[in-house]
Copies of this chain bind each other. A is one copy, B any other.
Amino acid sequence: MYKSGRHFLQIPGPSNVPDRVLRAMDFPTMDHRGPDFADIGKKALEGMKSIFKTEQDVVIFPSSGTGAWEAALVNTLSAGDRVLMYETGHFATLWQALAKRLGLQPEFIPSDWRSGADPEKIEAYLRADKNHEIKAVCVVHNETSTGSVTQVKEVRDAIDSAGHPALLMVDSISGLASIDFQFDAWGVDVAVSGSQKGLMLPPGLSFNAISAKARAASAKATLPKSYWAWDEMKGPNEKGYFPYTPATNLLYGLNVAIDMLHEEGLDAVFARHARHGEATRQAVRTWGLDILCSDPRHYSNVLTTVVMPTGSSADAFRKTTLDNFDMSLGSGLSKVSDRVFRIGHLGHFNDLMLMATLSGVEMGLKLASVPHNRGGAQAAMDYLTNSERPTEAIAAAQ
């Protein structure tokens, strides 16, 4: 059926791609081995370091984020290695399954999907590993299936407190460039990210940031690898090139997206996401619905996962919203299928796009006959006009 006006893509990624990025990607493909390409390659690699907040290495893969998960593991580990993972939600579970397929031995700290990883449990687990057989601790920074954030610095501290040498690997696919991430300052060893969330690009690029310690580990790791091999990247990357054909047009877009993030300022970007996260939570509370994340310290400013009242189908509600208001919302995945829906408020976004989104949710709740209180959108407006205004927040951040 014909839909007038713009679609609202309010899943927690892919996020809305800015016109500047789309237009940049619309230029003719160039010779990726020619002299003009080197500037593009260097800018992308250096730019991504500034986003990861690292002075160590970053590599870029032509792949979706799943590829960078695999790259993190195959470059640093060997068959049968034990790795400690944490069940923060669906994506943590998928990463764990991937580790298993690759022949690793993931050990999975269970959780109820309602918070980020608990550093105390990690510390306890590591302390019990007297022989230091666990080679890596893998956590998801922003769990896209639940809207809970793991405090990465606390995990680092837990590992250190336990005096354990495991590598710290962090999936920040949906966190990077929306909420703060400090690769160097937090002591992360391998970070994993993707293009289609806070980086405001279409899917098709993924990233690893790599610490010196991870680099050293990669020299001894024996899992077979070639496409994902970090070692082959290093030489060409130093000159701005890649060992195989890169996704040229996505790189055009990446360089514009990095420019845009720095034009706004990363702190302003994070303040904007925080503002929209809180406005959304105020709306959800007003509707009388539960936020899946039960620990306010772990609330995600990237997305909000809303629990449906008993007896209401999240998928029926999402269909109502899509059919009537041309807005895509995120579904509940695996364990919480049909029981929750997810509101993405990340990336290229602003107050009125948020109000459109929350209005669409409120109207959808009504049309789908989901029990709720009116006034959630109104509460968000109240918050947006009572809290520091974006102009002030950005000025303050500068």
Contact = CB atoms under 8 A, between A and B. Distances in A.
Most buried by B among A74, A225, A351, A389: A351
A323 interface: yes
Contacts of A33: 11, 331
Interface in A284-334: 322-328, 331
A17 B29 contact: yes
A226 B102 contact: yes
B5 A204 contact: no
Name the interface size band of chain A. Answer: 35 or more
Interface in A199-252: 202-204, 223-227, 229, 244-250
A338 interface: no
A64 B349 contact: no
A124 interface: no
A64 B62 contact: yes
A219 to B, nearest CB: 15
Given A14-B245, A204-B250, A350-B3, A224 B224 contact: yes
A344 to B, nearest CB: 10
Contacts of A34: 322, 328
Interface string A19-39: 100110111111111110000
A204 B352 contact: no
Contacts of A63: 61-63, 67, 227
A93 interface: no
Nearest to A70: B227
Nearest to A253: B249
A125 interface: no
A2 to B, nearest CB: 4
Contacts of A359: 352, 355-356, 359, 377, 381
Contacts of A268: 2
25 contacts: A2-B268, A4-B348, A4-B350, A7-B30, A9-B29, A11-B31, A14-B32, A16-B28, A16-B29, A19-B26, A19-B28, A22-B26, A29-B196, A31-B328, A34-B322, A63-B227, A70-B226, A98-B226, A102-B225, A202-B249, A204-B248, A224-B224, A324-B390, A352-B357, A378-B378
Interface of A: 1-9, 11, 14, 16-17, 19, 22-23, 25-35, 61-67, 70, 74, 79, 98, 101-103, 194, 196, 202-204, 223-227, 229, 244-250, 260, 263-265, 268-269, 272, 322-328, 331, 348-353, 355-357, 359-360, 362-363, 366-367, 374-375, 377-378, 381, 384-385, 389-391, 394
Shortest 6 CB-CB contacts between residues of A and residues of B: A5-B350, A355-B359, A204-B247, A356-B356, A352-B356, A31-B328
